[in-house]
Amino acid sequence: MLARVDAVKSLPENVLSLSASRRAWNGVSVDVNEWHGSGRVAHRFPDQAETRLIAVLEEVGSPCEPRLRENQPCSIGYRPRHMDFAPAGMEMWGYSADVRFVRDARLTFDLATVDESLTTQFDRGMLSTPRLRFSDDRIWTLIKLLADAVGDPDPSAQLYGDGLVTAITARLFTGPRKPATDGQGLAPWQLRRVIEHLDAHLPERVELARLAALVGLSQSHFSRAFKVSTGMAPYRWQLDARIRRAQGLLIDSRASLDQVAEATGFADAVHFGRIFRKLTHVTPAAWRRDRKR
């Protein structure tokens, strides 16, 4: 599902504006919200019937506080980069004594879909236990990367987000993975089948679930095995393949940068140039010029 911006008409008291965007990956809906306010704010989080994880990414003013009841302060002290996990059916409130700006991300889980992507089974105790103001730098960082990708129209953002969601859910809901599978890559036939599929569908969006199904693995197992075999995450391999295809067009044709960008799935020449330079450390025009001599 591509990102969208929702118009919010009814705002909590003292919230001056709220912008919200949403995208779904791999059974997880990701809502990124930016709040501007002035004064005391108390609001009930939506999707009470769903399993949710909320991460505060930025906050200016009084610290954000999770509450189980509007007028019941949280018993856990403030900590930076905190997150809040709410099992399905649990009411949760957000509170600030004097908010100025908040950017948060809310992940809502379709547990049946998420379960299919994992190598191990859910820890049922983790699913049913609320966690307020808990810290996990790894999960917080993954959520930050995921939030930044919500509005990215690039085709490789599909595999990128799928991989981030799989990593988040594996760390959040399961115990330690079995070490026996950590160093095992894909079998040659598995790697060949996946790469042939990626090549055949360049520069389209490809879902991680589809790649894993091609070789009969869970998404988390596939992601680890693919990286062992290639040294890259699936999204990065796809992005590199698109850049390699673009390099072929730059050398073998007189296509403009806009035409090369369109042929390889980039939004425009500016977007193409930015990614090309990030991966090759030179602009497309300079790369083409140096190889046309």
For residues 204 and 80, state if they share a domain. Answer: no
Average pLDDT over every residue of 100-117: 88
Average pLDDT over every residue of 236-246: 92
Q: Which residues contact 201 (CB under 8 A, 6 or more apart)?
A: none
How many domains does one find in the chain?
2
Q: Whole-angstrom Cα distance, residue 26 to residue 227? A: 19
Per-residue pLDDT, 9: 55
Task: State residue 89 phi and psi, 5-degree precision.
Answer: 90, -5
For residues 120 and 235, state if they share a domain. Answer: no
Closest CA to 206 of 187, 219, 192, 217: 219
Classify residue 20: in a domain, yes or no: yes
Given a cut of 60, is residue 177 above it in pLDDT? Answer: no
Task: Show the DSSP H helices in 183-256 as ranges.
Answer: 188-200, 208-214, 219-230, 234-252
Whether 164 contacts 157, CB under 8 Å: no
Report DSSP state, residue 180: G
Using 50, 70 and 90 to split pLDDT, how confident is the model at 61?
Answer: confident
- CATH (domain of 215): 1.10.10.60
Average pLDDT over every residue of 55-78: 90
Per-residue pLDDT, 120: 63
Using 50, 70 and 90 to split pLDDT, how confident is the model at 50?
Answer: very high
Given a cut of 90, is residue 264 above it in pLDDT? Answer: yes
% residues pLDDT > 90 (the chain)? 61
For residues 12 and 107, state if they share a domain. Answer: yes
Structure tokens at 145: 């990367």
Whether 269 contacts 258, CB under 8 Å: yes
| Domain range for 273 | 177-293
